[in-house]
C-alpha cells in the first residue's frame, strides 16, 4: 500500500475510537477482578480507582498499527509488547526492580541492533551507551510522571504528536503512524483518566509509553542531515523536557532529604504546583503548556540553523531550570527532612564528600556562571548573524568575550548577589561592568587587528544583548519567585492596613517567609490619593470608612495594621467592627534595639486563636 499523509491521522483516529471502547470494558473487568488501587498517604488519589488502563492503551495502539496497512516490524512491535507485559506483571504481582531493569536493557539492545542510537549515528560508538541510558531513563521518568490524574497520558500524547509530525516531515511512515497511534490511544484514555480519574494506566501503561516515547524521540533524529547536528542532539532532550525535569527534581530532593529514590511521595512537580495554590487541573494543564512549548520549539528546530533559534532555546531552557529551582523550595517533606535538605543545599551536611559539599555551598555561583556563559555565547552568535559576519576562526575571540565578561562580573562581586532581592542599583552595576568589559574587548580587538571585522556596531549590539540577557535572567528569577510566593497555599488570608514603607516591609516578609502561612489580599489606606492604585502588585481598595465593604468583598481572616498612625482608640473601634465579621486584628511593629538587646521586628495578633511569632522569634530575617 502506498504511503499517504492521511494514514498517520487515520491511525490516530482509530486509536482514539478503540481506546474509548476498550477503557470502559477494562474498568468493569478491573473492579470485578479486584484490580484497584486504594487511597494511600503517599499517593494523590482520594478514592478506590481501577487499575490496568495500560491494557486499553496498548490494545488501542495495536489495533491502530495493524489496521494502518503498513508493514509492521515484528521485532520493534515485540519490544513494545515486552515493556507492556513487564508492566502488566508488575501491576499484578509486583516485580522486583532488577527484573524491570533487565527488560528495559533487553529492549534497548533491540533498538541498537536495528540502528536506533542516540544521536542519529553522529556520535559513533558513544551513541550505544547513551542509548541504554536514554531508554532506561525516559522509561522510568514517564513511570514516575504518572502521579496525578491525566498527567502522564497528556504529556505522552503531546510528545507523541510532535514526534509523529517530525516523522511525517522526514518521510518516515511507520514512525509517523506509530506516533499518531500512541497519541490517539492516550487521548482516548484521557476521557477516563483526567480528573476525576476513573482508571489509572498502571505500570503496564507507563512503561509501554515511556519506552515508546524513548524510541520515538531518538528515531526522529535520523534523516535530518549532519549540518543540523546540534539540533539533532537537542530534539530528543527537548521533547522529553517535562519527564526529565520532574525526575531530576524528585531524585535530587529525595537524596538531599535522606529518602530512597524509589520511595513514593507527594513531591513531584505536579504536587509542588498544587502546594503553591493551583488546583490539580491547573497544575496538570500548566505542565501540558510547558511540554507543548518545548514541542513547538522542536518543530521550529527542524532543519533550522543554530543562529535562528539559539536565543529561543536558551530562554526556554533557562526558564525551565529556574522554574524547577523555585519549585524545589516548596515544602513537601516533614520538618526534619526539610531541615536536612536545607543544610545539605548550603553545604552544611554533605557528609565527608568534600567535592559535593563544595558544589552545594557554591551552587548559586555555579548557576550564575553557567547562565551567563550561555547568554554571552548566544549574544555573540546573534550579533554575528545580525551583521552578517562570516568568519570561521572565531573560537579565540568568542573565548575572549566569555572570559573577560565573566571576569569583570566576578570582580564586581555580582555573582554574590541574591537574585530574588535584585534591586535597581544592582541592575545598573550589571550594565556598567559589561560596558567596561566591552571597552577592554575593543582594545584587544584593535591590538589584534580584528577591529575592521568586529566594528563598534558589533560591540554595541553585543553589549546590549549580553547586558539585557543577564539582567533579564535575574529579573525573571525574581518575578517567578514572587509569583510562586503569591500563589502558594496559606493558613490565613490578610489585608494590610497602611500602604507605606512599613507595610512594604511587611508584605515582603509575608511573601518570602512561608512559615507564617499568611497570604496578602490587598491594602487599606486612609490616603484617598492612593485608592485604586497598586503597591507590590496588590490593590489599595480604600480607607477605614470602606473597611466593612472591603472585608465583605475579599473575605480575609485577618487585618494587619502596619502603620503607627492608627491610635489605640481607632484600633479598638476597628476591632469592634471586625468582631462582627469574625475577623481577627493584628499589628506589625518594627523595633530597633541597641546594646544588649537583639534587633528585630515581629507580629502580634491582638485577638483570635492566632498568636503569631513571639518577641524572641523575629519576623524579619
Q: Rounded to an integer, what distance in angstroms lies between the CA atom of residue 560 and that of residue 497? A: 6
Give the three-class secondary structure for 387. Answer: helix
Give me the pLDDT at residue 299, please: 82
Take residue 44 and report the three cell numbers written for it. 494523590
- Side-by-side strand order, sheet with 558-561: 518-524, 492-497, 558-561, 584-591, 600-605
Of 491, 555, 481, the closest CA to residue 519 belongs to 491
Take residue 575 and report the three cell numbers written for it. 476591632
Per-residue pLDDT for 434 more than 50?
A: yes
**Which of the four pLDDT bands, split at 50, 70 and 90, describes residue 564?**
confident
Render pLDDT for 582-617 as a digit per residue (tens, 0 to 9). Answer: 899 988 877 766 655 444 444 444 333 333 433 333
Give the percent of the chain with pLDDT over 90: 30
Give me the pLDDT at residue 209, please: 96
Give me the pLDDT at residue 75, please: 86
Give me the pLDDT at residue 59, please: 96
CA 597, 600, 604, 609 dihedral sign is negative
Spell out the SS3 assignment of 233-259.
Answer: HHHHHHHCHHHHHHHHHHHHHHHHCCC
Other residues' Cβ atoms within 10 Å of the Cβ of residue 279: 11
Of 471, 343, 372, the closest CA to residue 419 belongs to 471
Question: Across the strands, what pairs with 539?
Answer: 534
To the nearest whole number, what is the mean pLDDT of the chain? 82
Angle of the 306-327 helix axis to the 241-256 helix axis, nearest 10: 40
CA 447, 448, 452, 458 dihedral sign is negative
**Which of the four pLDDT bands, split at 50, 70 and 90, describes residue 116?**
confident
Angle (CA) 118-124-127 rounded to 5° is 25
Which alpha helices (H) appear in 488-537, and where do they start and end? 501-512
Take residue 528 and report the three cell numbers written for it. 484617598
Q: In whole angstroms, what separates CA 395 from the centre of its chain?
A: 33
Give me the pLDDT at residue 193, please: 92
Q: Is the pLDDT higher at 130 or at 490?
A: 130
DSSP 546: G
Please state which of the ranges 310-324, 438-452, 498-512 shows the lowest mean pLDDT: 310-324
Q: Please, which residues have CB within 8 angstroms of residue 328's CB and are 6 or more apart in sequence?
A: 249, 252, 253, 272
Decide if 160 contacts 180 (C-beta within 8 A).
yes
Q: What is the mean pLDDT of residues 223-243?
A: 71
For β-strands 518-524 and 584-591, DSSP reports them as unpaired
Per-residue pLDDT for 105 more than 90?
A: yes
For 383-409, letters b (16+ CB in 10 Å) and e give: bbbeeeeeeeebeebeebbbebbbebb
Question: Across the strands, what pairs with 338?
Answer: none
Which alpha helices (H) appear in 276-362, and where do they start and end? 280-301, 306-327, 335-345, 354-361
Q: Cis check for the bond before 196: say yes or no (omega within 30 of 0).
A: yes
Q: Rounded to an integer, what distance in angstroms lies between the CA atom of residue 345 and that of residue 366? A: 13
Q: Rounded to an integer, what distance in angstroms lies between the CA atom of residue 61 and that of residue 17? A: 11
Give the percent of the chain with pLDDT over 70: 83
Q: Is the pLDDT higher at 483 or at 468?
A: 468
By CB neighbour count within 10 A (0-12 exposed, 13-18 middle, 19+ buried), where does 452 fall?
A: exposed
Question: Across the strands, what pairs with 586?
Answer: 560, 605
Q: Rounded to an integer, what distance in angstroms lies between the CA atom of residue 411 and that of residue 415? A: 9
Give me the pLDDT at residue 476, please: 84
Angle (CA) 75-155-289 rounded to 5° is 150
Query: What domains sit in the chain, N to C, each tagged with a CATH number?
Result: 6-330 (no CATH), 362-485 (no CATH), 490-605 (3.40.50.720)
Give me the pLDDT at residue 309, please: 62
Take residue 335 and report the three cell numbers written for it. 520538618
Give the global pTM. Answer: 0.71
Render pLDDT for 287-335 as a digit per residue (tens, 0 to 9). Answer: 999 999 888 888 887 766 555 566 667 767 777 777 787 787 777 777 6
Which DSSP helix (H) or strand (E) runs through 49? Answer: strand 49-50
Amino acid at each position: 500500500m502506498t504511503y499517504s499523509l492521511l494514514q498517520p491521522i487515520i491511525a490516530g483516529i482509530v486509536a482514539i475510537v478503540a481506546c474509548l471502547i476498550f477503557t470502559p470494558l477494562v474498568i468493569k473487568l478491573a473492579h470485578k477482578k479486584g484490580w484497584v488501587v486504594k487511597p494511600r498517604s503517599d499517593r494523590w488519589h482520594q478514592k478506590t480507582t481501577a487499575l490496568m488502563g495500560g491494557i486499553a492503551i496498548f490494545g488501542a495502539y495495536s489495533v491502530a498499527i495493524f489496521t494502518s496497512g503498513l508493514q509492521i516490524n515484528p521485532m520493534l512491535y515485540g519490544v513494545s509488547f515486552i515493556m507492556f507485559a513487564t508492566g502488566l506483571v508488575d501491576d499484578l504481582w509486583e516485580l522486583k526492580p532488577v527484573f524491570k531493569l533487565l527488560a528495559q536493557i533487553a529492549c534497548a539492545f533491540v533498538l541498537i541492533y536495528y540502528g536506533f542510537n542516540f544521536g542519529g549515528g553522529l556520535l559513533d560508538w558513544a551513541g550505544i551507551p547513551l542509548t541504554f541510558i536514554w531508554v532506561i531513563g525516559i522509561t522510568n521518568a514517564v513511570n514516575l510522571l504518572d502521579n496525578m490524574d491525566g498527567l502522564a497520558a497528556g504529556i505522552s500524547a503531546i510528545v507523541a504528536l510532535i514526534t509523529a509530525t517530525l516523522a511525517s516531515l522526514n518521510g518516515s511512515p511507520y514512525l509517523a503512524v506509530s506516533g499518531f497511534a500512541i497519541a490517539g490511544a492516550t487521548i482516548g484514555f484521557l476521557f477516563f483518566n483526567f480528573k476525576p480519574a476513573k482508571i489509572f494506566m498502571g505500570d503496564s501503561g507507563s512503561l509501554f509509553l515511556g519506552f515508546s516515547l524513548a524510541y520515538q524521540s531518538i528515531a526522529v533524529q535520523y534523516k535530518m542531515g549532519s549540518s543540523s547536528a546540534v539540533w539533532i542532539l537537542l530534539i530528543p532532550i527537548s521533547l522529553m523536557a517535562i519527564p526529565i525535569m520532574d525526575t531530576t527534581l524528585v531524585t535530587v530532593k529525595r537524596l538531599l532529604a535522606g529518602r530512597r529514590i524509589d520511595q513514593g511521595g507527594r513531591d513531584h512537580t505536579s504536587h509542588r504546583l498544587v502546594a503553591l495554590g493551583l488546583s490539580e487541573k491547573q497544575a496538570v494543564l500548566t505542565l501540558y503548556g510547558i511540554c507543548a512549548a518545548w514541542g513547538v520549539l522542536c518543530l521550529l528546530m527542524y532543519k533550522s540553523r543554530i543562529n535562528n533559534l539559539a536565543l529561543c532555546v536558551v530562554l526556554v531552557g533557562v526558564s525551565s531550570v529556574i522554574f524547577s529551582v523555585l519549585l524545589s523550595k516548596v515544602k513537601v517533606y516533614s520538618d526534619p527532612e526539610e531541615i536536612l535538605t536545607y543544610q545539605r543545599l548550603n553545604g552544611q551536611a554533605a557528609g565527608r564528600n568534600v567535592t559535593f559539599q563544595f558544589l552545594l555551598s557554591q551552587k548559586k555561583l555555579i548557576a550564575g556562571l553557567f547562565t551567563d556563559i550561555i547568554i554571552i555565547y548566544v549574544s555573540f552568535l546573534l550579533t554575528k548573524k545580525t551583521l552578517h559576519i562570516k568568519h570561521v576562526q572565531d573560537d579565540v575571540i568568542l573565548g575572549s568575550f566569555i572570559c573577560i565578561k565573566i571576569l569583570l562580573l566576578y570582580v564586581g562581586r555580582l555573582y554574590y548577589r541574591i537574585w530574588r532581592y535584585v534591586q535597581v542599583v544592582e541592575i545598573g552595576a550589571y550594565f556598567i561592568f559589561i560596558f567596561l568589559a566591552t571597552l577592554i574587548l575593543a582594545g584587544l580587538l584593535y591590538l589584534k587587528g580584528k577591529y575592521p571585522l568586529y566594528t563598534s556596531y558589533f560591540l554595541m549590539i553585543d553589549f546590549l544583548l549580553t547586558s539585557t540577557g543577564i539582567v533579564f535572567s535575574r529579573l525573571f528569577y525574581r518575578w517567578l519567585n514572587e509569583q510562586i510566593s503569591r500563589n502558594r497555599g496559606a493558613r490565613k488570608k490578610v489585608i494590610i492596613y497602611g500602604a507605606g514603607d512599613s507595610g512594604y516591609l511587611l508584605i515582603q516578609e509575608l511573601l518570602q517567609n512561608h512559615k507564617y502561612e499568611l497570604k496578602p489580599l490587598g491594602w487599606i489606606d486612609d490616603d484617598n490619593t492612593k485608592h485604586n492604585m497598586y503597591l507590590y502588585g496588590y490593590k489599595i481598595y480604600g480607607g477605614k470608612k470602606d473597611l466593612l465593604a472591603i472585608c465583605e468583598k475579599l473575605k480575609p481572616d485577618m487585618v494587619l495594621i502596619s502603620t503607627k498612625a492608627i491610635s489605640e482608640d481607632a484600633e479598638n473601634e476597628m476591632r469592634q467592627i471586625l468582631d462582627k465579621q469574625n475577623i481577627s486584628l493584628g499589628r506589625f511593629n518594627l523595633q530597633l534595639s541597641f546594646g544588649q538587646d537583639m534587633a528585630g521586628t515581629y507580629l502580634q495578633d491582638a485577638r483570635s486563636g492566632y498568636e503569631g511569632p513571639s518577641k524572641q522569634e523575629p519576623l524579619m530575617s
